[in-house]
Amino acid sequence: MADTVPTEYFAGISPIHFEGPETDNPLAFRTYDPDRVVMGKRMEDHLRPAVCFWHTFCWDGFDIFGAGPFERVWQADGPTRAGADQRREAAFEFFTKLGTPFYCFHDVDICEASPTATELASNFARAVDDLERLQEKTGLKPLWGTANLFSHPRYAAGGLTNPDPDVAACALRQVRDCLEATHRLGGSNYVLWGGREGYDTLLNTNLKTELDNFARFLSKIIDHKHKLGFKGKILIEPKPHEPMYHQYDYDTATIYGFLKTYGLENEVHVNIEPNHATLAGHSFAHEIATAVAFGIMGSIDINCGNAQNGWDTDQFNLDTRDITLAMIELLPSGGLDTGGFNFDAKVRRQSTDLEDLFYAHIGGLDALASGLLAAADIIEMGQIAAFKADRYAGWTNEFGQFLLDENTSLTEICDRAVAEDREGRHSSGRQEYLEQLVARSLG
């Protein structure tokens, strides 16, 4: 047991404020200015930033080669009830000092280690009561909650896609309880990340059975959401692999195909994570553009990988160009409504001081703000939209409309193309010019 329970976990760190680009204070925002209006909306309302429990307060820095070096005060007691009580207090002090309005959690993040499903249900319920108290004190709300259906050994072969109905029932209990808690706490969304919904080998897997079961359970979860009157969105988080060799929620396009197959495309949106996009061989912007195109854009877990090693390293994303390119896809669609930017990112294992958690989130917020400003600048200048409008203008002309008309047959199109001697000539895609515009707005 720690001798005393501290009243302040981040002593010596005052609330973080915007001080502008000239400041040399590393514990201040240089670009993130919550009240600054960009394209008619406050910066904070565009970004709706959230801090996550798991990387920032639960993780002690362990990796597969060694024990955790962080020695956080609230981790000293291990995964006990007293330790979890301190973890929640420390987290809310951090959120308040950083000044972000939202947080995200797994059920297991907020309470003590719970070996059985029944213990988890009661420990979680107690922790949720405490979150309610902390929320009343601070005004924070969950951006989303989620059930951890991948850490407990029973979930080795998946949660909602497990071959064993007993395991699936445990997963459904967790989802029901966590969805109800997220609703009660005023959460904006509910997330399902299919960490172990997939397989290591097809030799032991009935792929079709697992997908059918997943769809059936997802329908039940959606029905329950409507019964509760939860207005938030249900989000699936795409990721192609890790921990499994193959995960069913591979990327946004795969999820859309799944939803459409089972008639769930109007009920479920996606929670996009840049590091998962790169694992799937896509860019962050591609995933956003795909979600916007299919009308399933939900929320974002902001982070990035390491360009050289290809793992899910969950680093704080400081790549303002990457963020800008994603924002260029996101903003014209109206941006995020119930979604936000959740820092699903962790400090490096050698960054052991409490200040490091602040530097990481401050840098991450400044990078998001820079990306937002650059994208708004590009959009307001209008050349990209004008170039695209011109590039596709043919489809609004008579011949383009004739091609698209559902009553026009393939033969009629071909005959007319021959009769009018339509050869088609390439015109420049102007990639370098367009990239120059992005570079100019990035400053």
User: Which residues form the interface with Ni ion (CB under 5 A)?
Assistant: 273, 301, 312, 344
Q: Of 146 and 320, which has the nearer Cβ to ligand XLS?
A: 146
- In the complex, minimum distance from the CB of residue 289 to ligand XLS, in angstroms, rounded to a whole number: 20
Please, where are the H alpha helices in 280-353? 284-294, 320-330
Q: How far is the CB of 406 from ligand XLS (least distance, A)?
A: 42
Distance CA 148, CA 124 (A): 12
Name which of Ni ion, ligand XLS, none residue 146 binds, using a CB cut-off of 5 to 8 Å depending on partner kind: ligand XLS
Minimum CB separation from Ni ion for residue 235, in Å?
10
Among 12, 8, 47, which Cα is nearest to 358's?
Answer: 12
Single out the residue of 128, 177, 122, 127 nearest to residue 148, CA to CA.
Answer: 177
Identify the three-state secondary structure at position 302.
Answer: coil
The amino acid at residue 356 is D
- Site of interaction with ligand XLS (CB under 6 A): 106, 146, 193, 237, 239, 273, 301, 312, 344
C-alpha span between 52 and 104 (Å, rounded)? 5
Q: Report, in Å, the least distance between residue 190 CB and ligand XLS.
A: 11
Nearest residue (CB) to ligand XLS, 237 versus 251:
237
Task: Write down the least CB distance from residue 366 to ligand XLS, Å.
Answer: 22
Q: Which is nearer to Ni ion, 34 or 61 (CB)?
A: 61
Residue 314 near residue 345, CB atoms below 8 Å? yes
CB 181 within 8 A of CB 124: yes
Using CA atoms, how far residue 368 sits from 28, 281, 348, 374, in Å, is 15, 23, 20, 10
When the beta carbons of 59 and 74 are compared against ligand XLS, the nearer one is: 59
Biggest CA pair distance of the chain? 90
Residue in 33, 77, 107, 109 annotated catalytic: 109
Q: Which two tokens stand for residue 70?
A: 């962080």
Contact 243, 197 (CB under 8 A): no
Spatial distance between the Cα atoms of 304 and 370, rounded to a whole number of angstroms: 16
Q: CB of 323: closest distance to ligand XLS in angstroms?
A: 18
Q: What angle do CA 122, 125, 130 make, to 5 degrees?
A: 130
Closer by beta carbon to Ni ion, 34 or else 198 = 198
Among Ni ion, ligand XLS, none, residue 249 binds (CB under 5-8 Å by kind): none
Which listed option, ligand XLS, Ni ion, none, makes contact with residue 329 (CB within 5 to 8 Å by class)?
none
Q: Residue 41 or 141: which CB sits closer to ligand XLS? A: 141
- Minimal distance, residue 287 CB to Ni ion, in Å: 13
Specify whether 322 is catalytic.
no
Q: For residues 46 and 352, give the distance between their C-alpha atoms in angstroms, rounded to a whole number.
A: 31
Question: In this structure, are residues 322 and 439 in contact, taking their beta carbons and an 8 Å threshold?
Answer: no
Q: How far is the CB of 149 from ligand XLS (least distance, A)?
A: 9
CA distance 40 to 413: 45
Q: What, of Ni ion, ligand XLS, none, does residue 109 touch, CB below 5 to 8 Å by kind? A: none
Q: What is the DSSP letter of 236?
A: E
How far is residue 48 CA from its own chain's centroid? 12
Closer residue to ligand XLS in complex, CB, 34/238: 238
Q: Do 77 and 1 contact (CB within 8 A), yes or no?
A: yes
To which H or E segment does residue 216 belong? helix 207-228
Catalytic residue from among 55, 106, 183, 269: 106
85 is catalytic: no
Nearer to ligand XLS, 77 or 344 (CB): 344
Q: Using N-to-C axis directions, what is the helix angle for 81-98 and 117-138, rounded to 10°?
A: 30
Q: What is the C-alpha radius of gyration for the chain, rounded to an integer number of angstroms?
A: 24
| 105: CB partners within 8 A, 6+ apart | 52, 53, 54, 131, 142, 145, 146
Report which residue's Cβ sits closest to ligand XLS. Answer: 193
Among all residues, which ones are annotated catalytic?
A: 106, 109
